[in-house]
Structure 1
Amino acid sequence: MTDDLLQHFIVEARELVQQATDDLLALERDPSAAVHLDSAFRAIHTLKGSVGLFDFAPMGLALHAAEDLLSAFKSGQARLGSDMIDILLECVAQMDRWVGHIEGNGQLPSDAGEEGHRLAAGLRSQLGQGAGASASVIPEADTDWIEDLLTTMGDREGSNPHAGSLIAIRYIPRADCFFAGDDPLGLLRSVPDIVTLSVTSREPWPPAAEIDPFSCNLLIEALSAGTFDAVRSVFRFVPDQVTLHELSSRGTDDVRSTGRDRVANAEAVASGTSGARVIRIDAARIDRLADLVGEMVVAKNTLAHLVSVSDGMDRTELLRAIVTSHAALDRLVGDMHRAVTDMRMMPMREVFRRFPRSVREISVQLGKAIDFSMEGQDVEADKSVVEGLFEPLLHVLRNAVSHGAEPEAMRVAAGKSARAKITLRARRDADRIVVEVNDDGRGIDPASIRRTALERGVVSGEQIEQMSDAEAMELIFAPGFSTAEKVTDLSGRGVGMDAVRSSVERLGGRIGVQSVPGRGTTIHFALPLTVVMTKVMLVHVGDETYGIPMDGVSETAFVPASRILPFQEREAFVFRDRTLPLVRLADLLKIPSRAGSGAGTKVVVMWVGDEKVGIAVDGFAERMDVLMRPMGGILTGMPGLMGTTLLGDGSVLMVLDIPELIG
């Protein structure tokens, strides 16, 4: 079993799980939509087939039951109801969790067998069948049949020459196994080195005239002297119908105490395998990159030719040729940057489509009626941005359902529709992507925020009095605003929102809130479209040069000394009729500054959160696109540093995280 095959299975399994989820949610809205029923059945069926290749028996057991239930819907033998959708979604969600565990560990968790039986029993109960309808797996504690086989073998041979290398097999084919293309006796003939064999009926045989020749009623038990892997390979396509036990090398007199049970899925497929980062790319984008590489090779050869003939060239002619070659390389590097950026772009659909199931689960648990919609799913952003949005968006959506949306009776009394509306949307705004979560719930009351902020000591009474309503609502993102206690006055918006802001800022974005009491709330994220190349401004502080990401820079200015005013133990300055805090970068970095107390100060005006702050520097330098590398080694996690890049002269430039330095 190769790692590549396992990784392909993981990628495909995630897609099939998501497809099944989408179709089941669509069926819940419209049970008559045959196209979604067919699509869900195909996704479950395909996933079951893939699982069989890897001997993940508990997954196969649950998926087979889900497939039977969907098949009953297709044939009209069962009617689709909310309970059935619930258990099917629960099964699909468990598959998603198991795929994640397989990606990290190469195998299923230790409790997968028990959970697989529970899911299968719940699914089959919807068809009026008991858990035993699967007729597949026998509890591991039931080993009497192994002792019977050993006794039979001992009676026949008088001794056990195979002690220490026996595999006990119990194979109970499904009743409809012939229709699935299975040949139980054919499989049995493929088992190596069978020592003893017992073939009986699973259930009492009916009268001869009533026997169904197309229904399998066999119970097959055997002992094999072959290896465990060889025996398991024979039954790899029917793992949910087989139990295997490897007997102890100490003898066979006491199977229960000396036998070591090994079910088919227990072996790690890829021991120690860590999750690979996989992205699917349009072939046209790869072709474009290949074309650019070809042009780069031509440009390199041109430069090599120029070097070889440079001794005989006139200085002016040589300079002109170098400038021309540089221009060609500059164009190609820019084109290649855009091509690589395009390859990393993913539609927001990849993260958005994971939320309908989560919103549904939360709303069902809380007994709230929610109409959830999504817009802008085709808007593209960098892969790291799209994937990094899942946790913060899930938290905001959870708050919108659990605290923003009022109970139905309260909504009707307020003149609203009984069902709360929550919308998740994305849109492109210049070189940034804006993602919003909007609800028409109770909104956020600024007065309640002020009271809670004072009670928890987030701000002082004097600061509260000077805040506008919009500024007061921003306090929900303040560290310390939230506690473990349930918030009742504030619609729960403060719970964990500081962590949400931190997650968004790590992606290079900003977060804000707008709310009208009684009418709803909008949480909006503004994030960069790409993080492959970063545009930075170089600034001088003392004898050092640092980079500041341009994403947060509003403008640069020269502030006269007369406009810089002391404020308590800090400084502020008046800029465009607004008073902004002034922070000296030299003080933040604890390095000496070369700036004197002359006519004024050079300032970078930038966004820190949703507020503008002036950063005093000794001088400005050029702006450039850089390929930023994260901090590594002993500098990993160093506060205030986003990463490093190499400059043209070979020196290392450190790119600063100004908001983190200030915080």
Structure 2
Amino acid sequence: MDDLLQHFIVEARELTQQATDDLLALERDPDQAASMDSAFRAVHTLKGSVGLFDFAPMGLALHAAEDLLGALKERRVRTDNIVIDTLLECIGQTERWVGAIERMGQLPPDAAEEGYRLARVLREQADDGSSATSQTDPQVDLSWAEELVQSIDPAVVKGSAKHLVAIRYTPRADCFFAGDDPVALLRAVPDLMAVHLFNRDPWPPATEIDPFACNLKIEAISGAGLDAVKAVFRFVPDQVAIHEIAQSSGRSAHVAAANHGEHRGGDAVGGPRMLRVDATRIDRMADLVGEMVVAKNALAHLAGQAKDGMDAKSLSQGLLASQAAIDRLVVEMHRAVMDVRMMPMRDLFRRFPRAVRDIAGQLGKSVDLSIEGEEVEADKAVVEGLFEPLLHVLRNAIDHGAEPEQARLNSGKPSRTRILLRAQREGERVVVDVQDDGRGIDATAVRRVARERALMPEDELARMSDADAVELIFAPGFSTASAVTDLSGRGVGMDAVRSAVEKLGGQASVHTLTGQGTTIRLSLPLTLVMARVMAVRIGGELYGIPLDGVVETAFIPAARVIPVRDAEAFVLRDRTLPLVRLADLLEIPRPLELSQQGLKVVIMAVGDDLVGIAVDGFAERMDVLMRPMSGILAGMPGVMGTTLLGDGSVLMILDIPELIG
């Protein structure tokens, strides 16, 4: 993929997102001139960029969208929900086309047909100045085509292909100036069976006829294939409607329905991954590289002096000074690399208003979405990895949290459900909340569903607090179709949400008040590349544990370890915590003598609970550049990644919550 096309893809994504934001703002307030102008500029710029490439269907649709936006600006068309729906449909299709271009370098095979359809719908709304009828009605009036078919010799029709093609061609008045010859195009149609030519508008008096203006309307039937006919009119797609019709026994024509698959996101995107970075951050990295070159030269000079017989004391002092300088530069370079990978949550959050609007419309719910903390930054991998889990949480908030308008009014609430999407920085973590003022989660209903699904013993369910019971919505197997109907709150795939968040090194939790609302909280590390870890020993091996999950370390005498059925626990400051031996999780034999003396334990936060992880020994804490597992080890459970130690050995960084789960 060449650089120009890569730049187009990046710019196209930004422009489609800008157009989406502006159209949603116009839907809320049609009189916002700034949003209208911004939407028009975004579509106009995108149309111009498309013109640099052979993406005619996309350009056709965007040209029509630009015309409709122009009609809205001039108030020839009223800004209503149907117009906004149509424009958003065009922008959404453009996004999917851009994704296809990124994957394949070209538009998908059905792009031409979809481009014609979108352009026709958009132009009809722009030309008619009316949006009272839905333009997505699959029923097409082909009575004119039936009349043409009836005029054809039955023997000709019988010997033709199973499907005929109906053509309605309305050349523009200025088509001659564009180099188009409507009659020549008609002659180029293969297997032409019937033709009807007539004037598009009433003819003026002979003295007023403009010989350079085309006033034709052409209807025709062809026995050639659909693709062959489209190829003839490929340069005038905005002026022609082409339909495939099937022959029936009575020789009448009817529309042949065809389902054209629509490619959506979820496929792996090939090609290079791109990230826009503030130029000042690049400049900072360049400065640091310059300082590292100076430090390298100083070390080379010191090596030369040592070769010439420099005394040991001076050499030692020089090495220590050089090490201190390099240590400082490495730390600063780490920070600079982290800054380059950081991106604002805005890039993620901007994708949700349209999604919420579409979901609420499909479910018949009235929802207002507000967003806070768009400026909070996190690692690119964290931000991108949050899209699917957050979309799932938002969908559940609308589907299962939002009550009907009348029910809200009866309970003294505003008629529209309020959903808040908020990001905030907490230390070295980013916290994302999805908060709604809906019906909340009924802990009693959760217990009932958990009992029906046999998720845990009855006595344990009875002892659980309401807060702990609500956490069961994250349990695998909890979400079933019947649970959705019986349970007021969220029960659809929340185990998948927690799993996705934990793969990013985070935790998911829920807080709810029946009748008042629910908050789903996702807490994640700021970065997945640079990590601060604590090395621990198991047998003769070292393993890394991310420090962001470590609360403290402790030595637990053997006498304080309590057997609990087939597990273990211990008491720490009057609190009983579960004990898990890391050697058992890794299936490594335990050193018996260490277990008899006592246990070195890492106290970790796993979800909202504390768990003690028994290890053989503690080693150093370090900042590492973590590499994800690749090759046959990609997706290996319980391992977040690896890093190289100073002696060249590999340190595996463990995902403790996944190992325990």
Asked if 1:291 corresponds to 2:307, the answer is no
Please name the residue that 2:318 is paired with. 321
Partner of 2:630 in structure 1? 632
Q: Which residue of 1 aligns with 2:225?
A: none
- The match for 1:17 is 16
**Structure 1 segment 348-363 matched on structure 2, within 5 A:** 348-363=345-360
Tell me by how many angstroms 1:546 deviates.
0.8
Aligned with residue 507 of structure 1, among 494, 504, 509: 504
CA distance in 1, matches of 2:542, 2:68: 66
For 1:295, the aligned partner's letter is E
Instruction: Kindly state the Cα deviation for residue 215 of structure 1 after the two structures are TM-superposed.
Output: 6.2
Checking the alignment, whether the CA contact within 8 Å between 1:420 and 1:439 is kept in structure 2 is: yes
* 2:440–2:489 Cα contact (<8 Å) kept: no
CA distance, structure 1, for counterparts of residue 181 and residue 542 of structure 2: 72
Whether the 8 Å contact between 1:641 and 1:656 is mirrored in structure 2 is yes
Task: Calculate the TM-score normalised by the size of structure 1.
Answer: 0.81
Report the equivalent of 2:555.
Answer: 558
Residue 213 of structure 1, CA deviation: 8.8
Corresponding pairs, count: 576
1:53 is paired with a residue of what secondary structure? coil
Q: Alpha-carbon deviation of 1:175?
A: 4.5
TM-aligned CA deviation for residue 635 of structure 1:
1.6
Identify the residue that residue 254 of structure 2 maps to in structure 1: none
Rounded Cα–Cα distance in structure 2 between residues aligned with 1:309 and 1:435: 55
Q: Secondary structure at the match of 1:108?
A: coil
- Judge conservation of contact 1:536–1:550 (CA < 8 Å) in 2: yes
Q: CA deviation at 1:516?
A: 0.1
Q: Distance in 1 between matches of 2:34 and 2:213?
A: 31
Tell whether 2:546 aligns with 1:549.
Answer: yes
Distance (Å, rounded) in 1 between the aligned partners of 2:660 and 2:116 = 54
For structure 1, the residue ranges without an aligned partner over 5 or more in a row are 132-140, 142-169, 189-193, 195-199, 221-234, 244-271
Amino acid at match of 1:634: I
- Specify whether residues 446 and 208 from structure 1 end up closer, same or farther in structure 2 by C-alpha distance, changes over 3 A only: same
Aligned to 2:230: none
Instruction: List per-residue Cα deviations over 1:147-173 (Å, max 9, x = no partner).
Output: xxxxxxxxxxxxxxxxxxxxxxx9987
Which residue pairs with 2:583 in the alignment? 586
Amino acid at match of 2:299: L
C-alpha displacement at 1:114, in angstroms? 2.5
- Once the two structures are overlaid, the 10-residue window that deviates more, 592-601 or 297-306, is 592-601
Query: What residue number does 2:361 align with?
Result: 364
Counterparts in 2 of 1:273 and 1:461: CA distance versus 1, 3 Å: closer
- The answer to whether residue 466 in structure 2 is matched with residue 477 in structure 1 is no
User: C-alpha deviations, 1:198-255, integer Å up to 9, x for none?
Assistant: xx999577545545699666999xxxxxxxxxxxxxx99x674699xxxxxxxxxxxx
On the 8 A contact 2:554/2:602 being kept in 1, the answer is yes
Contact 1:476–1:493 under 8 Å retained in 2: yes
Q: Deviations over 1:326-379 (max 9, x none)?
A: 111111111111111111111110000000001111111122211110001111
Counterpart amino acid of residue 464 in structure 2:
M
Aligned to 2:260: none
Aligned to 1:412: 409
Judge conservation of contact 1:56–1:239 (CA < 8 Å) in 2. no
Q: Give me the whole-angstrom Cα distance separating, in 1, the residues matched to 2:459 and 2:482.
A: 26
Retained in 2: the 8 A contact 1:541–1:594?
A: no
Q: CA 1:476–1:561 in structure 2 vs 1: closer, same or farther (change >3 Å)? A: same
SS of corresponding position for 1:487:
helix
1:396-441 residue CA offsets vs partner (Å, 9 max, x unmatched)? 0011111101000000011111111111011111111111000000
For residues 131-153 of structure 1, give each alpha carbon's deviation from its aligned partner in whole angstroms, at most 9, with x where no partner exists: 9xxxxxxxxx9xxxxxxxxxxxx
- Cα distance in 2 for partners of 1:301, 1:11 equals 40
CA deviations on 1:486-514 (whole Å, 9 max, x unpaired) are 61232351211000001111111111100
Q: Distance in 1 between matches of 2:181 and 2:338?
A: 51
CA change 1:176–1:39 in 2 (3 A) is farther
Q: Is the 8 A contact 2:529 2:627 kept in 1?
A: no
Alpha carbons 1:486, 1:492 under 8 Å: kept:
no
Which range is displaced more, 299-308 or 360-369?
360-369
Alpha carbons of structure 1 residues 24 and 215: separation in structure 2 relative to 1, 3 Å: farther
CA–CA separation in structure 1 for the residues paired with 2:569 and 2:181: 82
Report the counterpart of residue 49 of structure 2 in structure 1. 50
Aligned equivalent of 2:568: 571
Superposition deviation, residue 386 in structure 1: 0.8
Counterpart for residue 100 of structure 2: 101
Structure 1 pair 202/540, CA: closer, same or farther in 2 (3 Å)? farther
Contact 2:60–2:119 (Cα < 8 Å) also in 1: yes
Deviation at 1:127, TM superposition (A): 3.3
Aligned-residue sequence identity (percent) comes to 67
1:184 aligns with 2:178: yes
| 2:620 partner SS | strand
> 1:579 & 1:208 partners in 2: Cα distance?
101
Contact persistence 1:369–1:418 (CA under 8 A): yes
In the alignment, which residue of structure 1 is the partner of 2:370? 373
- On the 8 A contact 1:436/1:523 being kept in 2, the answer is yes
Give ranges in structure 2 of 5+ residues lacking alignment: 136-144, 146-167, 183-187, 189-196, 219-232, 241-267
| Matching residue of 1:301 | 297
Preserved contact between residue 372 and residue 423 of structure 2 (Cα < 8 Å): yes
Shift of 1:598: 2.8
TM-score (norm. length: structure 2)? 0.81
For residues 575 and 176 of structure 1, what CA distance do their matches in structure 2 show? 86
CA spacing shift, 1:606–1:438, aligned 2, 3 Å: same
The list of structure 1 runs, each at least 4 consecutive aligned residues, that deviate by more than 4 angstroms after superposition, is 128-131, 170-178, 200-220, 238-243
Q: How far apart, in 1, do the equivalents of 2:504 and 2:173 lie?
A: 54
C-alpha distance in 1, partners of 2:413/2:375? Answer: 31
Indicate the larger mover: 538-547 or 117-126.
117-126
Contact 1:372 1:422 in 2 (8 A): yes
Partner of 2:150: none
Does the C-alpha gap of structure 1 residues 353 and 211 become closer, same or farther in structure 2, counting only changes over 3 Å? farther
Given candidates 411, 421, 427, the residue that maps to 1:430 is 427
- Contact 1:171-1:241 at 8 Å conserved across structures: no
Cα distance in structure 2, aligned partners of 1:281 and 1:219: 53
With 319-328 and 200-209 compared, the bigger mean Cα shift is at 200-209
Q: Equivalents in 2 of 1:574, 1:273: separation in Å?
A: 50
The aligned amino acid for 2:93 is: Q
Alignment map for 1:157-172 (pairs within 5 Å): none
Distance 1:52 1:202 in 2: 32
Give the residue type in structure 2 aligned to 1:607.
A
Tell me which amino acid in the other structure corresponds to 2:505. G
Task: Look up the match of 2:39.
Answer: 40
Distance in 2 separating the partners of 1:383 and 1:398? 23
Match of 2:644 among 643, 646, 656: 646
How far residue 540 of structure 1 moved from its aligned partner, in angstroms, is: 0.6
2:353 and 2:540 map into 1 onto residues whose CA distance is: 54
* Residue 259 (structure 2) aligns with: none
Q: Does 1:443 align with 2:440?
A: yes
Farther-moved stretch of structure 1 (451-460 vs 95-104): 95-104
Distance 1:487 1:360 in 2: 22
- 2:51 counterpart SS class: helix
Distance 2:561 2:120 in 1: 73
